[in-house]
Amino acid sequence: MNADLIIYNIGQLVTGKELPVKDGETRMENIEVLNNGYIAVSGSEIMAVGSGEVPSKLIKFTTKLIDAEGCVVTPGMIDSHTHLVHGGSRENEFLDKIAGVPYIEILKRGGGILSSVKATVEATEDELVNAAKKSLRRMLSYGVTTVESKSGYGLDSETELKQLRVNERLKLEQEVDIVSTFMGAHALPEEYKDNREGFIQKVIELLPVIKERELAEFFDVFCEEGVFSNEESRKMYIEAQKYGFKLRIHADEIENTKGAELAKELQMYSADHLMAISEDGIKALKNSDVIANLLPGTSFSLGKDYAPARKMIDEGVQVALSTDYNPGSCPTENLQLIMQIAALKLKMKPKEIFKAVTINAAKSLGRDKRVGSIEEGKKADFVFFDSKNIEYILYHFGINHTSKVFKNGCLVYKK
Ligand code: IZC
Ligand code: ZN
């Protein structure tokens, strides 16, 4: 069969394919990087990948040929933890934050998540769609082709459903793939201060409604000291599991609440944040399929400790990296900056970082059969970087290295 599109002369092609782990390598460095690579595309899918001369049988007279001029090409990157859909912004709390008022203290004063809740309740569906599209366009420009998007700024049924409907519209109205997560338990509304149980029941009652309308695939809880306890979280997760939701968790972000252990127990797809993970938590994750989804932009922005990534990886935990894009603790859509922080602050190695934003991020979203690597039969999502090697992309920080993005075999972004 012939290809519709062939990209050739790729200096370093990060296919993202997982190879057997070599001696002296971590289980995060085992991704394939081909020199002088090519990719052949048929329709919206990858039909062949290799290095050296492009086999002539792939080329017909209508095949479009693109010379990558020796640059780096990687799979479309995946941002597997975002609070994409929200009203307003929180620069009004920024001065308090840099003066040292803790994140949870701002929330207790009715600010933080609760101030974004107010703005999201007030926003129309169209306003939310338009703001999210602007962010998605920015994410795409950084090389991101799949994004997880959570609700959680409604807390009442009507606004939670509105946020999830926005996700459905985004799936139809722009190029980036969206994975939808219901996060009704993101904070306790003030009116439930003395009725925690009542609020938890309301979240549980929404689960079948969301399932029936097919508005979300995942369920997530902010399991944190001062937000929802381990016990309260478990109760909601068990109900969500009964309705067939896949699970992910905000775990051990600020205080250790044994979130990682809960993720292992309930076989969640990912445990996210983990800045305060314990030895036992690391032990739980390393013996599981749970992806440790690290969000170092949040540590950077909150001025907090970083997750012990080096220790986790050296012990065999599988790691992903995401922005946590949200209006409070990490207001950036720039996944490349997060990757650069991962190199500088988490001491992750270049191959580990690219694995974390491609195939491992895909696993954390249950999408690894379709995206996350450049392999035959997968979606033709890939990114050109204006760089000869992957190290340079991490070293030259704070700028956008992407020069072209292909989604489903089509050019959707060009610098
Ligand atoms: O709006 O502050 N951590 N949720 C849990 C967030 C951060 C988002 C926010
Ligand atoms: Zn989050």
pLDDT in tens, 116-154: 999 999 999 999 999 999 999 999 999 999 999 999 999
Per CATH, 5-75+373-414 and 77-364 having the same topology is answered: no
Mean local confidence (pLDDT), 173-199: 97
Only one residue has tokens 């992750």, namely: 348
**Would the CB of 323 count as within 6 Å of ligand 1?**
no
- How confident is residue 55, by pLDDT bands cut at 50, 70 and 90? very high
Ligand 1 atom nearest 222 alpha carbon: 5
At the fourth CATH level, the homologous superfamily of domain 77-364 is Metal-dependent hydrolases (3.20.20.140)
Give me the pLDDT at residue 292, please: 98
**Structure-token match 């001029």, residue found:** 69
**pLDDT at position 348, please?**
98
| 301 ligand 1 Cβ < 6 A | no
* Ligand that lies nearest to the alpha carbon of residue 112, given by its number in the listed order: 1
CA of 222 to the centre of ligand 1 (A): 8
CB of 56 closer than 8 Å to CB of 398: no
Q: Under CATH, which architecture does the 5-75+373-414 domain have?
A: Roll (2.30)
- pTM attached to this predicted model: 0.98
Output the CA 293–ligand 1 centroid distance in Å: 15
- Secondary structure (H, E, C), the chain: CCCCEEEEEEEEEEEEEECCCCCCCCCCCCEEEEEEEEEEEECCEEEEEEECCCCHHHCCCCCEEEECCCCEEEECEEECCCCCCCCCCCHHHHHHHHCCCCHHHHHHCCCCHHHHHHHHHHCCHHHHHHHHHHHHHHHHHCCEEEEEEECCCCCCHHHHHHHHHHHHHHHHHCCCEEEEEEEEECCCCHHHCCCHHHHHHHHHHHHHHHHHCCCCCEEEEEECCCCECHHHHHHHHHHHHHCCCEEEEEECCCCCCCHHHHHHHCCCCEEEECCCCCHHHHHHHHCCCCEEEECHHHHHHHCCCCCCHHHHHHCCCCEEECCCCCCCCCCCCCHHHHHHHHHHCCCCCHHHHHHHCCHHHHHHCCCCCCCCCCCCCCECCEEEECCCCHHHHHHCCCCCCEEEEEECCEEEEEC
Domain ranges of the chain: 5-75+373-414, 77-364
pLDDT per position as a tens digit, 311-352: 999 999 999 999 999 999 999 999 999 999 999 999 999 999
Which of 89, 220, 324 maximizes ligand 1 atoms within 8 Å of its Cβ, making it the mutation to test the pocket? 324
Ligand 2 midpoint to CA 387 (Å): 31
Does the structure show a pLDDT above 90 at 1?
A: no
The fraction of the chain above a pLDDT of 70, given in percent, is 100
Q: What spacing in Å lies between the alpha carbon of 69 and ligand 1's midpoint?
A: 41
CA dist., res. 15 & res. 7, Å (int): 13
Q: Please work out whether the CB of residue 258 comes within 6 Å of at least one atom of ligand 1.
A: no
Name the closest-CA residue to atom 6, ligand 1: 329
By C-alpha distance, which of 356, 370, 386, 343 is closest to 73? 386
Across residues 369-383, what is the average pLDDT?
98
Mean per-residue pLDDT of the chain: 97
Q: What is the pLDDT of residue 287?
A: 84
Tell me what the mean pLDDT of segment 219-238 comes to.
97
